[in-house]
Amino acid sequence: MKEFIFKLNTDDAFTVTSAVEIDLTSKADYNHTFFKLLRPLYRMPSFFQNEALDLWYISLIVYYIDRKVLRKGTFDNWTREVKLYIPVLEVDKWNENKDLLIEMISYLSGDIWDFEFRKRELNGKETKISENIARSYISTKYAPDCFCMLSGGLDSFIGAIDLLKENKNIAFIGHYGRGKGVKPFQDKVISLLKDKFELQDGQFFNFNATPIGGVEDTTRTRSFMFFMHAIILASCMNKEVDLYIPENGLISLNIPLTNSRLGSSSTRTTHPYYLKMFQELLVKLGVKVTLKNPYQFLTKGEMLLNCKEPDFIKEHYKETMSCSHPDQVRWVKGSSEPKHCGTCLPCTIRRASVLRAFETDTTSYEDADYKNGKANIELRSYKIGLLDYARSDNSLFTIQMSGKIDEKIDEYEDLYNRGMEELATFINTKND
């Protein structure tokens, strides 16, 4: 088991002989932009709730391990075993909820985790921000009615449109990586929403958090860190706040359509079981944020068909990014811009949804016909998965493969069947 000590205060003398020490405030270890955007933070009604600040740091720490510790070389070339020594403000609450945190993170990443917490106080940066918020450094405070994740993808674009049709007082939270992958699409989506709904710059928050020298690329815990950027801001509202996480129900179920989906390509970003544990943890910590996925029982095609601005989404869907690895096309082909590969499962589900909703798809794809070697193998595996689906009479068992479903089972089964039929309609147009 690998051990890591994380530190946030200069006077933290805690040590363990066998552990690697990481300073989360050091640019040499971690680049995170959250505290660099001081003016937006000073607009918050109050300082972050202690428990939310602790959990935000925990999400950065978990993501650090996810990027820095290789799966290769472990006993099964997948499962890592790590113990983390973490300083927190509310040590008693974390000791009470450690088992739930371990269960949630272990499910999300597929690893074996252990945490040891110790007491800390606010560091200098946090104290300064707290004092400036209390002094009303900026006279006009910002209090949105709800928060919504905005990734630059098609689902979150639809989610934003549908919410804004009813209420414009919404804060949108994004995260971008070091590559060019999604940032241009996030910027375009923000521009479109601002123009369409007459929104202000201050409603959009976009952050980066990148461990320096990260080498592992499976990054299953990225969503945890992404969501926590919204939750820590929502904790400043001093009231019950909804956080919308728009994603189509089929992809959220994370059903292993192909063998590759059982491994590194498999993520549990919005799986109902994960979100249920996450919500339970927030409740037990006293963080007044409710996680909501309004599209849990809709396919991606149904999301497009039911969008509250049908003409707007039809005109602009192609300006969103759904690909699981948009930078790879740029690196391999020498292109200056990121692009959909057209063949990964997220691209394939996107293409099936657009075909259902609009009959034609004007998005640019690198390999629209699954012709290169890897893409053709993927196409064949999709077809095998669809054959297995057609032959099976136990969809309940299938949807349980990626996580426990113990409520609304009939609705999940119906969603799964509709999603697979939507996918099959598109896949059957392609020849391997």
In a domain, 238, yes or no: no
Q: Is there a contact between 344 and 200 (Cβ–Cβ < 8 Å)?
A: no
What's residue 263's pLDDT? Answer: 39
In a domain, 362, yes or no: yes
d(CA 300, CA 178): 28
Rounded average pLDDT over 129-137: 86
Q: What is the DSSP string of 163-223?
A: HHHH-S-EEEEEE--SSSSSHHHHHHHHHHHHHHHT--GGGEEEE-EEETT------TTHH
pLDDT above 90 for 37? no
What's residue 427's pLDDT? Answer: 97
pLDDT above 60 for 105? yes
What's residue 334's pLDDT? Answer: 58
What's residue 261's pLDDT? Answer: 46
In a domain, 64, yes or no: no
What's residue 338's pLDDT? Answer: 86
pLDDT above 90 for 137? no
- When the pLDDT of each residue in the chain is averaged and rounded to a whole number, the result is 93
3-state secondary structure of 81: strand
Kindly tell me the burial class for residue 359, based on how many C-beta atoms sit within 10 Å of its own C-beta (0-12, 13-18, 19 or more). exposed
For the chain, how long is the longest CA-to-CA vector?
A: 66
CA distance to 107, 170, 186, 281, per residue, from 66 (Å): 13, 31, 24, 21
Q: Is there a contact between 131 and 266 (Cβ–Cβ < 8 Å)?
A: no
Confidence class of residue 178 from pLDDT cuts 50, 70 and 90?
Answer: low
CA distance to 10, 27, 37, 235, 394, per residue, from 23 (Å): 9, 9, 20, 25, 50
Confidence class of residue 262 from pLDDT cuts 50, 70 and 90?
Answer: very low
Q: Is there a contact between 300 and 346 (Cβ–Cβ < 8 Å)?
A: no
Q: Is there a contact between 281 and 100 (Cβ–Cβ < 8 Å)?
A: yes
In a domain, 364, yes or no: yes
pLDDT above 70 for 120? yes
- Of 26-40, 147-161, 321-335, 369-383, least confident by mean pLDDT is 321-335
d(CA 95, CA 98): 5
Q: Is there a contact between 82 and 65 (Cβ–Cβ < 8 Å)?
A: yes
d(CA 429, CA 424): 9
What's residue 197's pLDDT? Answer: 98
pLDDT above 70 for 270? yes
d(CA 313, CA 307): 7
Domain housing 354: 319-427
What's residue 324's pLDDT? Answer: 86
In a domain, 116, yes or no: no
- Of 144-153, 340-349, 350-359, 389-398, least confident by mean pLDDT is 389-398
Pick the residue with more confidence: 276 or 394? Answer: 276
What's residue 335's pLDDT? Answer: 62
- Of 105-119, 161-175, 383-397, least confident by mean pLDDT is 383-397
What's residue 140's pLDDT? Answer: 82
Q: Are strands 241-244 and 2-7 parallel, antiparallel or unpaired?
A: unpaired
What share of the chain in percent tops pLDDT 90? 81
Q: Is there a contact between 243 and 227 (Cβ–Cβ < 8 Å)?
A: yes
Rounded average pLDDT over 159-163: 98
Rounded average pLDDT over 349-373: 96
In a domain, 278, yes or no: no
Pick the residue with more confidence: 179 or 345? Answer: 345
Confidence class of residue 264 from pLDDT cuts 50, 70 and 90?
Answer: very low
In a domain, 307, yes or no: no
d(CA 204, CA 226): 14
**Starting at the edge strand that comes first in sequence, how are the strands of the sheet with 170-175 ordered?**
204-207, 170-175, 146-149, 241-244, 289-292
In a domain, 366, yes or no: yes
Count Cα neighbours of 39 within 13 Å in the Cβ-side half-sphere: 4
Rounded average pLDDT over 189-217: 95
Rounded average pLDDT over 308-334: 85
Domain count, the chain: 1
Rounded average pLDDT over 34-62: 95
